[in-house]
Amino acid sequence: MRILAIETSCDETAAALVEASDGLKNPKFRVLKNIVSSQIETHRPYGGVVPLLAKREHIRNLPIVLKQVQGKSKNEKVKIDDVDIVAVTVGPGLEPALLVGIEFAKHLAKKLKKKLVGANHLEGHLYSFLLTQESKKEKGERRKLEFPAIGLIVSGGHTILLLMNKLESWKKIGETRDDAVGEAFDKVARMLGLPYPGGPEIERLAKTGNPHAIEFPRPMIHHKNFDFSFAGLKTAVYYETRNKKFTRKQKADLAASFQEAAVDVLARKTMRAVEAFGAKSVILAGGVAANKALRTRIGKECKKLGKSFFVSDFKYSGDNASMIAAATYINLLKKKAYHVKMQANLNL
């Protein structure tokens, strides 16, 4: 099956053509084209995403990225006329941004005379690790995903912990009660005067800092449940920075200490869930999964306990359309469908 996917949930305009095969037990994906047009420079002066500006940029960029999807790929000519399905993100996300993608996909599907299906952005993140399994197989590194598994989805809008008994089914066992971890990274970055997007800037600065310079709180880390809270950690950083001037070294120490606290909470809660449910595998997904400190920490914890660790390549950690194609394929096989209408507050 060839799937043409469109993603416009926030500030990335993305389109991809993905070939999917082999069913639910052993799904395989071959990414023929994966095009992402970033809007970072447009939103950076405002310190965050401005929905109406995002809408304007999506309108401008969608025809461009679609044209880039067509062309030569892996020694073969790619034609969007050859696709079997057109998929589009219907939520969660920013309403103006989602609407542009949905309307574009509707017109495209009608023009191509293909079926149009909706996709859940969060499910896309969850399944993004599957996009890299073929490349790992070529290197002789491909491992089998064993169940039960624990899935951690971390992004600017969500922090969710899942118990998965099968690839296509899960139960939410924990989530943030206030700020998502990616949101906390962005807000702390603003406190430090760092540019948008804040997550990568905090990580870059933290590399030269001492992660133990400041003992920030680890909210809810000792609670027996699997929920998260990052508002208190963010507030602690605020009081640490209020009315103070910092040297670059002090800023680096603060960034490193904040990152250490956030990663510590995420890793310890995840591994506690692994032990509680006897999980055999851990999946890390979402934009914050690109954070190397988080990847390394959870990877080491899994190795220590003899658990398999799965995370996508960096190019599939952020918002992209290939992950939307992967989620679409899984949903088609399990006969799950999302109405092709904007659902800004859609969840798992």
- The pLDDT tens digits for 195-224 are 999 999 999 999 999 999 999 999 999 998
Does 296 reside within a domain? no
Give the rounded percent of residues in the chain with a pLDDT score beyond 70: 95
Q: Residue 140: what pLDDT?
A: 46
Do 240 and 188 lie in one domain? The reply is yes
Last residue of a domain, which of 234, 264, 279?
279
Q: Residue 126: what pLDDT?
A: 97
* Cα–Cα dist 343/348, whole Å: 12
Does 343 reside within a domain? no
Model confidence over 302-347: pLDDT tens digits? 999 999 999 999 999 999 999 999 999 999 999 998 999 999 999 9
Which CATH number fits the domain that encloses residue 124?
Answer: 3.30.420.40
Do 132 and 203 lie in one domain? The reply is no
Boundaries of domain holding 131: 2-139+315-333
Do 233 and 169 lie in one domain? The reply is yes
Q: Residue 176: what pLDDT?
A: 96
Does 86 reside within a domain? yes
Do 133 and 7 lie in one domain? The reply is yes
Do 8 and 133 lie in one domain? The reply is yes
Last residue of a domain, which of 279, 298, 324?
279
Do 326 and 252 lie in one domain? The reply is no
Does 109 reside within a domain? yes
Does 247 reside within a domain? yes
Judge whether residue 137 has pLDDT over 70.
no
Per-residue H/E/C for the chain: CEEEEEECCCCEEEEEEEEEECCCCCCEEEEEEEEEEECHHHHHHHCCCCHHHHHHHHHHHHHHHHHHHCEEECCEEECHHHCCEEEEEEECCCHHHHHHHHHHHHHHHHHHCCEEEEEEHHHHHHHHHHHHHHHHHHCCCCCCCCCCEEEEEECCCCEEEEEEEECCEEEEEEEECCCCHHHHHHHHHHHCCCCCCHHHHHHHHHCCCCCCCCCCCCCCCCCCCCCECCHHHHHHHHHHHCCCCCCHHHHHHHHHHHHHHHHHHHHHHHHHHHHHHCCCEEEEECHHHHCHHHHHHHHHHHHHHCCEEEECCHHHHCCCCHHHHHHHHHHHHCCCCECCCCCCCCCC
Does 211 reside within a domain? yes
Judge whether residue 163 has pLDDT over 90.
yes
Do 89 and 159 lie in one domain? The reply is no
Do 135 and 154 lie in one domain? The reply is no
Do 247 and 321 lie in one domain? The reply is no
Number of domains in the chain: 2
Does 199 reside within a domain? yes
β-bridge pairing 2-7 and 12-21: antiparallel
Last residue of a domain, which of 233, 255, 279?
279
Do 128 and 101 lie in one domain? The reply is yes
Q: Residue 138: what pLDDT?
A: 47
**Confidence at 71, pLDDT banded by 50, 70, 90:** confident
Does 178 reside within a domain? yes
Do 203 and 102 lie in one domain? The reply is no
Do 91 and 176 lie in one domain? The reply is no
